[in-house]
Structure 1
Amino acid sequence: MLPIHKRESISRDFILQKVERLTSTFEPITLVEMDNVKLMDRVDVKYIIPLQALPNILADAQSHYRILEVENKRLCHYETLYYDTPDLQLYNTHLKNRANRYKIRSRNYVDSNLKFFEIKLRNNKGRTIKTRIRQETIGAEIDQTSANFLKHSTPLMATAFKGMVWVDYTRITLVSRKSQERLTIDLDLSFRAGDRHKAFDKIAIAEVKQNKATGSAFIDIMKKYQIRQGSISKYCLAVISTFDNIPCNQFKPHLLRIHKLNNQYDIASGINQYAQA
């Protein structure tokens, strides 16, 4: 009999193969067509999903959504560098759940070879507003063009910030056939800061993005599988995972669930449960 860790490795590969096979059954949408559903000003709902459940979820979603295809790929790779102050000012505003809080990042859309400097604002009305500009390279220091953009878009000064942590993942992007809704599903999450590295490869983080909170086929699917709303931002999870002695009491319920899913469930046993996907 194979050792447990070998059985889990094979099982995870099996699940990912099913995920890739299922994504091939969706009708594609191009980046150009996606312009109509950019949703740079939106409301978000997040979910933490066990990887073993993803094939069934995708099977249920297939008739309701189209899938983004870039360079013949439907599972797209993202590399994101998040900026913060040395004392983690932006992380702490999220920890304290303050209104009008920001994330600052540079993102490389690997498959399309596009790079953007991006600002995300979570305002006091619970909406997420994203603005961005193209950039040629990504560095630990914010370049002058991006610094000017930051200055004119926020009360923040670029000189106070530096690249703190990289967040890498594979993303599935779905677009509703019926409404102004986008859905992202991020898997193969990994974080790196200096020589620190942490992977969360047995979960996926899904985010429903809408102009306003309306009906959603995906939210209905989550109810079907009794997966409740709620998650922690990838940036905050990255900081907690790669820095020492980080306060995180506000995030503990989500952290406990993430660690339980990522470390304790037996993927092999999950295959039988979701074998019909």
Structure 2
Amino acid sequence: MTDADVLLAGVAAAARPVGLADVPELMSRVDCKYLVTGTTMARLAGELGDRFSVLRIGGRRQFRYTSTYFDTPDLLTFRQHRQGRRRRFKLRTRTYLDGGGRWLELKLSGARGSTDKHRIPYDGVPAHILTQEARDFVHNTLVGELRLTPPAGLGPVLSTDYRRVTLIDRAGAARLTCDTGLLCHDGHRRVPARRDLVLLESKSADGRALVDRVLRGMGVRPVSVSKYCIGMAAMRELPGSNRWRPVVRRYLEPQGEISCLSQVA
């Protein structure tokens, strides 16, 4: 079995580095996601050759992230995502563990499958807390962008940890994030991802980036996957979560589920 994390480290080491200032921000974009084996990732890297650079910050090319997702007690945002609601959102804090600080991010579902991301700095605030400033930001953004009334009772329900390599298309405003080592946890249970798989996310203005064309040529098709939704589907018995079961069975390790309470005991 190929260890995808080790393979990605090799891909990153071989690519020409680029600094954060030269990475397109793409706050409004189309995301295409793919779940591939380490073997397929190695082939993709070969196909892309020197047309992609790798993000390097402070000497690092592979970075650790942790995200905490917020939802209502009845999981409104999960249900809206499951139902494919045209106007929906996702709220999280994202912490860049290797020196990038913490942000509060509000992702909005836009027209024609696009994603609009809004964020504010969140350094110095615990990742699982929503301050009054944060609530005002969520309120103003949802009302102004989607004409949605923010739901009451938003609180932390799931966290995800993973490692990421970011590849930058040198010919245009597009990038490819490559995630390995995913771990979903909620304070009671922990579910890791398989070590031989990479979750790719192609981010571009129109969803037709070079990497999307190359992957299609390799016979790789996009998958509907959300770290938040598959994590919730894996750890809770939730109505309507069957749409993510094929990805959960392929990507996550149910036999690796651990009760945090039993660990403490």
1:143 and 2:143 matched: no
> Do structure 1's residue 98 and structure 2's residue 85 form an aligned pair?
yes
* 83-92 or 20-29, which deviates more: 20-29
Whole-angstrom distance in 2 between the partners of 1:140 and 1:91: 18
Q: Given that residues 48 and 231 in structure 1 are in contact (C-alpha distance below 8 angstroms), is that contact kept between their aligned partners in structure 2?
A: no
Distance in 1 between residues matched to 2:218 and 2:238, nearest whole Å = 35
Match of 1:31 among 4, 8, 20: 20
The structural deviation recorded for 1:246 is 4.2
Return the letter of the residue paired with 1:17: V
After TM superposition, give the deviation of residue 152 of structure 1 in Å: 0.7
What's the CA shift string for 1:187-210, capped at 9, x where partnerless? 111100122110113322111111
Distance 2:130 2:48 in 1: 39
The verdict on how the C-alpha distance between 1:260 and 1:56 changes in structure 2, with shifts beyond 3 A counting, is same
CA distance in structure 2 between the aligned counterparts of 1:258 and 1:38, rounded to whole angstroms: 30
Note the 1:141-180 alignment, pairs <5 A.
141-154=129-142, 155-157=148-150, 159-180=152-173
The CA deviation string for residues 16-49 of structure 1, in whole angstroms up to 9 with x for no partner, is 4333122111111111222xx1000111111111
Partner residue of 2:190 out of 177, 186, 197: 197
What is the deviation of 1:71? 2.0
Number of positions where the alignment pairs a residue of Structure 1 with one of Structure 2: 247
* Partner residue in 2 for 1:115: 102
Rounded Cα–Cα distance in structure 2 between residues aligned with 1:26 and 1:79: 25
Assess if the C-alpha contact under 8 Å between 2:69 and 2:228 holds in 1.
yes
Matching residue of 2:236: 243
Structure 2 contact 167–177 (Cα < 8 Å) conserved: yes
Match of 2:9 among 13, 17, 20: 20
**How has the CA–CA distance of structure 1 residues 48 and 17 changed in structure 2, closer, same or farther, with 3 Å as cutoff?**
closer
Q: Cα deviation per residue 1:95-152 (whole Å; 9 max; x = unaligned)?
A: 0001011000000011124100000001243210000000122343311111111111
| Identity rate, percent | 24
Gaps of 5+ in 1: 1-10, 264-277
The letter of the residue matching 1:148 is D
- For residues 90 and 207 of structure 1, the distance between their equivalents in structure 2, rounded to whole angstroms, comes to 21
The corresponding residue for 1:275 is none
Q: RMSD of the alignment, in Å?
A: 2.1
Range moving further from structure 2, 132-141 or 87-96: 132-141
Tell me the secondary structure at the aligned position of residue 94 of structure 1: helix
Q: CA deviation at 1:217?
A: 2.5
Q: Tell me whether 61-70 or 94-103 shows the greater mean CA deviation.
A: 61-70
| 2:175 maps to amino acid | R
Structure 2 length normalisation: TM-score? 0.86
CA, structure 1 residues 130+235, in 2 after alignment: closer, same or farther (shift >3 Å)? Answer: same
**Contact 1:43 / 1:211 at 8 angstroms: preserved in 2?**
yes
- Paired residue type of 2:205: N
Q: Structure 1, residues 226-264: CA drift from partner, whole Å, max 9, x if none?
A: 111123111101111122344313x24xx324523656x
Aligned counterpart, 2:45: 58
Q: Distance in 1 between matches of 2:5 and 2:64?
A: 15
Equivalent residue number for residue 209 of structure 1 = 203
> Equivalent residue for 1:272?
none
Kindly tell me: are residues 261 and 108 of structure 1, through their superposed partners in 2, closer, same or farther at Cα, counting changes over 3 Å?
closer
Residues 56-112 of structure 1: per-residue CA shift (max 9 Å, x gap) = 222322322111112211111110000000110000001000101100000001112
Pick closer, same or farther for the CA change 1:213–1:257 going to 2, 3 Å. Answer: closer
Note the C-alpha offset of 1:12.
4.1
SS at match of 2:14: coil
TM-score between both structures, scaled by the size of structure 1: 0.82
